[in-house]
Amino acid sequence: MRDPVLYPFYADLSSLPGVGPKVRPVLARLIGGETWLDLLFHLPVSWIDRRNRATIDLAQVGEVATITGTVDKLEHARATFPARIRLRDDTGYITLTYFHANRQWLERTFKIGETIIASGLIGDYKGGRQMTHPDHVVTPDKDDELPEVEPVYPMTANLTSKALRKFLAAALDGIPDLDEWIDAHLLKRNNWPAFKQALLRLHRPKIYDPEGFEIARQRLAYDEALAREMAMGQARLARERRFSRAIPRAIGAERNIIEALPFKPTRGQMDAYSEVAIDIGRPVPMRRMIQGDVGSGKTLVAALAAAQVAADGGITAFMSPTEVLARQQAEAIGRFLAPVGIRVAALTGRDKGVAREAILNDVRSGKIQVLSGTQALYQSDVDLPDLSLVVIDEQHRFGVADRMKLNAKGASPHMLVMSATPIPRTMALAVHGDLDISVIREKPANRQEVTTAAVPDTRIDEVMAAIARAVDRGERAFWICPAVDSEDAGDAATVARRDVLASIVNAPVEMVHGRMLGPDRDAALDKLRTGEAGVLVATTVIEVGVDVPEATIIVIEHAEKFGLAQLHQLRGRVGRGDKASSCLLLYQAPLTEGGKERLDILRKTTDGFEIAEADFRLRGPGDLLGLRQSGLPTFRVLNISEDANLIETARTDAKSVLMADPRLEGARGAAIGRARDLFAPRIASMVTENE
């Protein structure tokens, strides 16, 4: 139950004075919510200092100034000329300029001979001072209505900043002071204000104090970090109290699988599996992520875990984001597990009727111990008896709801998630704080280094000729385009590029993009795998998981338009066999400084973790993983790149509190519980599956 002291924060926007049926949906859309709390966390992006009360001769171009003057002249708009009002004081003249202003309003507001106060940005027009569309115009008797320091907010159409400030003022007046939840020493060391005072400093500042604004923001950012870490910590405690099947390590099966491999597993692979095996062997549900670069061998770790489960009579469900990847994983895991007689099958939307029912019957009867599939795995007719392990591949492409639906097929199964996108440690804590993380840094010894070169697109004819010669030598290639249609990418579109390459290459050229049906995409990929096709022209739909060991060249057109992480993922499509491989980054000149730096980083290193750190530094957290993430947290205040130290401190603090007061029954524990509830709407999706 929510603490009654928090009720005002969750009051509906319609309870604010002036928020009626027309205003409410506009305001709710702007702030991304429907409560006072959502409004209060619609924080300013900057502040305007209006304390500069200058005479006209001292007003500086480029500064915000507040000027008192007498209306000397009013010229209404005509043809293409705006309305102009001339103000004077004892030191000179300034012009106020309005475009498309109402004539009656102008005459009512600017009466010749009357004194007014105007505040806004000073500009220059033909050597004279000008203020275009002043932010405020008032008469001297209303001078006290003019804010000395004014917050600037993200805005939307059909809502004025004046109205937004009025709504915020009402909400600030209506919320209570709350008991402090931050440790007293931490509060003093950082000079942080109380929670409500931090909101007041940001929304209703009395002085212009950039340092004070940042201190208040940091206070709220720490609140959010602490609330999230508390929620994650409590979810972990709840999980520890749940029972899950304890599955012993299958030493014999493990040894037989490893001895049959055509390569020697890396130390990183075996360390990761040991951590997984220990987790599965405990009677509480495992929640672990394996994070490894492209080609680091995560699938083998998952296969060993599936063998451990199968040896104990359990079933493993392996969910991938696409049909191609699901079938490819079924093949790979099947090869790994064949020496110990474990059967693996794929189940995707393509499987219909009799074929689908045959697969499901074999799963029910225990003939199939590992089922690899897409979201088809959690459909109502899919029965997974003794489901003991859920593996989620490329987990960031699934929402929490998808994982929960598959999880619900078993009685508290263990869960292993895998990501081929390395991310910095700080971001890993913020994004995956509810998971234990195993990292595989090495690549198998048989993996080839990929030589990377950046080439201007003026040399595209040379590149295509080189591709044709490589195909003549028996090699295979990927050609990546930024878009499907010529309207979006001109000659760099998949259809146009496929046609040009088909006229040059002495082998079939296939095409794959997101608008094609699944079976058609699979057929095109299969032709490249089998060697029936020499080149595959594709969009980034092949970015993840596509495995064609014979492919030795990848060309990425308009490479400057892609993020580092995505370029690295695409490059990972080659170098998967025993032949030297190359990646050509075709770019349009001239490159921006940022574009040049991104391509230089990719040329110099193939280490995904190093690339992730660089991407994080260049772009911040933003869309670091190269695609809009599903099920990842959004933060109200916390900035992952700027507030890394706050996340670390909050994690330590939350652990300490939960060790001493796991039920949050003490005074500070109860206060922290309120903080958790205040920020819970934005983090609940991250902990639901663990509660």
Structure tokens of 547?
Answer: 């495995």
Angle at CA of residue 23, ends 7 and 164, nearest 5°: 70
Using the 3D structure, point to which of 382, 407, 440 is the last residue of a domain. 440
As a whole-number percent, the residues of the chain with pLDDT over 90 amount to: 54
Q: Is 687 contained in some domain?
A: no
Give the mean model confidence (pLDDT) for residues 560-575. Answer: 85
Do both 265 and 323 map to the same domain? yes
Q: How confident is the model at residue 424 (pLDDT cuts 50, 70, 90)?
A: low
Q: Which residue has the tokens 């995505």?
A: 566
> What pLDDT shows up at residue 688?
42
Contact call for residues 116 and 67 (beta carbons, < 8 A): no
Residue 625 placed within a domain: no
Q: What is the CATH number of the domain that holds 69?
A: 2.40.50.140
**Amino acid 87: pLDDT:** 96
In a domain, 553, yes or no: yes
Yes or no: say if 392 and 289 are a contact pair by the CB < 8 Å rule: no
For the chain, count helices (H), then strands (E).
Answer: 23, 21
Q: 544 or 108, which is more confident?
A: 108
pLDDT, mean over the chain = 87
Note whether 41 and 78 are same-domain residues.
no
Residues 324 and 266 in one domain: yes
Clarify whether residues 367 and 400 are in a common domain: yes
| The two three-digit tokens of residue 550, written as one number | 């014979």
473 and 553 assigned to the same domain = yes
Assess whether 458 and 497 both reside in one domain. yes
Name the nearest CA neighbour of 345 among 333, 336, 357. Answer: 333
DSSP string for 447-471: PPPEEEEEEEGGGHHHHHHHHHHHH
- To 5 degrees, how large is the angle CA 337–CA 342–CA 343? 105
Kindly state whether residue 307 falls inside one of the protein's structural domains. Answer: yes
My answer on whether 141 and 191 are in the same domain is: no
Higher local confidence (pLDDT), 566 or 309: 309
Same domain, 570 and 598: yes
357 in the same domain as 381: yes
DSSP assignments along 142-197, one per residue: GGGGS-SEEEE----TT--HHHHHHHHHHHHHHSPP----S-HHHHHHHTPPPHHH
CB 249 within 8 A of CB 277: yes
Name the residue with higher pLDDT: 450 or 349: 450
State the sign of the Cα–Cα–Cα–Cα dihedral 589, 592, 598, 604.
positive
| Of 416, 440, 464, the domain-final residue | 440
Q: In the chain, how many domains are there?
A: 5
Provide the b/e sequence for 209-244 (b: ≥16 CB within 10 Å).
eeebbebbbbbbbbbbbbbbbbbbbbbbeebeeeeb
Lowest mean per-residue pLDDT among 43-47, 244-248, 618-622: 618-622
Please indicate whether residue 381 or residue 176 has the higher confidence score (pLDDT).
Answer: 176
If you average pLDDT over residues 244-260, what whole number do you get? 94
For residue 429, the model assigns a pLDDT of: 67
Q: Which residues contact 166 (CB under 8 A, 6 or more apart)?
A: 17, 18
Residues 361 and 400 in one domain: yes
> Does 23 map to a domain?
yes
**Average pLDDT rounded to a whole number, residues 507-526:** 85
Residue 624: inside a domain, yes or no? no
Which segment of 157-171, 614-628, 653-667 scores lowest on mean pLDDT?
A: 614-628
Q: Is residue 257 located within the same domain as residue 395?
A: yes
Whether the ω angle into residue 590 lies within 30 degrees of 0, i.e. cis, is yes
CA angle 157, 159, 160 (to 5 degrees): 115
**Pairwise CA distance, residues 690 & 673, whole Å:** 18
Residue 682 falls inside a structural domain: no
What is the rounded CA–CA span in Å between residue 148 and residue 52? 9
Is 473 inside any structural domain? yes
Which stretch, 396-405, 604-613, 667-676, has highest mean pLDDT? Answer: 667-676
Same domain (yes/no): 329, 466: no
* Domain span at 200: 178-241+636-675
429: CATH? 3.40.50.300
